[in-house]
């Protein structure tokens, strides 16, 4: 916590963020959350299902709009942004890693990774080169021209991580990244996260698995839409 406060510009700054889903019955999924994630921090958010952690992930990832409160990403107030600007910010600043990978089956591994640079204006010529570097970083340089369907679960998740990293986001947001993996593959993914953390990447991992959560530098629990630590 002390390191996060010491850094000048936090990546994530949430103050009193609320998210209600209009009913009936009205659901208060997120009820006044204050959260600061500093640069280079490795944070895990744990909570049982129904605790609002998916909603928090969506809010963090700019996939959803808070009902109230303040959310600044890299110092940018996201509440006042219009949808198109939010899409750009999302593409540029946030790398997503999903539980179910979300790879395009009909495209090669390399193309899947390059895809995340299409919408953020990286010149075409740079994309393939950067995608190769990113795949190399997660140890998949030998799988570049493969179809995702021929890869193991652990490999697919590493492709997804490479895709999340290649656009050089400010925040890597992982939603149950090991949920579909066996323990050996899960461990490999967590090691990749450790490496990324040591290289200075800011990570937020949302999970219900304490083994995953424990690897993080800082842990917060979410219960009934509020954070506890």
Per CB under 8 A, residues contacting another protein are: 54, 58, 61, 63-64, 83-84, 87-88, 90-92, 94, 96, 98, 100, 102, 104-107, 111, 115-116, 118-120, 124, 163, 167
Smallest distance from another protein to CB 116, Å? 5
What is the distance in angstroms between the CA of the first residue and the CA of the last residue of the chain? 11
- Residue position matching structure tokens 């950067």: 130
String of DSSP letters for 40-73? T-EEEEE--TTSSHHHHHHHHTTSS--SEEEEEE
Residue number, 124 or 142, with CB nearest to another protein: 124
Listed residue (91, 92, 95) closest to 159, CA to CA = 95
Residue number, 36 or 63, with CB nearest to another protein: 63
Smallest distance from another protein to CB 102, Å? 4
Residue number, 4 or 73, with CB nearest to another protein: 73
Smallest distance from another protein to CB 96, Å? 5
Smallest distance from another protein to CB 163, Å? 8
- Establish whether the linkage from the previous residue to 25 is cis, with ω within 30° of 0: yes
* 3-state class (DSSP) for residue 191: helix
Smallest distance from another protein to CB 229, Å? 25
Residue number, 106 or 214, with CB nearest to another protein: 106
Residue number, 36 or 88, with CB nearest to another protein: 88
β-partners of residue 77 are 72
Smallest distance from another protein to CB 76, Å? 15
CA-CA distance, 158 to 172, in Å (whole number)?
A: 13
* Other Cβ atoms within 10 Å of 48 Cβ, number: 11
SS (H, E, C) 105-128: CCCCHHHHHHHCCCCCCCCHHHHH
Residue number, 100 or 191, with CB nearest to another protein: 100
């Amino acid at each position: 916590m002390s390191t996060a406060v010491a850094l000048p510009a936090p990546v994530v700054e949430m103050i009193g963020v609320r998210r209600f889903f209009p009913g009936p019955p009205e659901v208060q999924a997120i009820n006044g959350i204050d959260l600061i994630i500093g640069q280079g921090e490795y944070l895990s958010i744990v909570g049982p299902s129904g605790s609002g952690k998916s909603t928090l992930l969506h809010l963090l990832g700019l996939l959803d709009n808070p009902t109230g409160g303040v959310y600044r990403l890299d110092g940018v107030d996201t509440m006042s942004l219009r949808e198109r600007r939010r899409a750009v910010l999302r593409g540029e600043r946030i790398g997503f890693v999903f539980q179910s990978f979300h790879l395009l089956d009909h495209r090669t591994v390399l193309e899947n990774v390059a895809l995340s640079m299409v919408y953020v204006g990286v010149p075409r010529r740079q994309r393939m080169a950067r995608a190769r570097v990113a795949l190399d970083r997660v140890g998949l340089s030998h799988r570049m021209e493969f179809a995702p369907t021929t890869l193991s679960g652990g490999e697919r998740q590493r492709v997804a991580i490479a895709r999340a990293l290649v656009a050089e986001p400010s925040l890597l947001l992982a939603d149950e990244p090991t949920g579909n993996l066996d323990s050996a593959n899960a461990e490999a993914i967590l090691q990749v996260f450790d490496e990324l953390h040591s290289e200075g990447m800011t990570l937020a991992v949302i999970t219900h698995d304490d083994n995953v959560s424990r690897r993080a530098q800082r842990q917060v629990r979410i219960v009934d839409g509020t954070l506890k630590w």
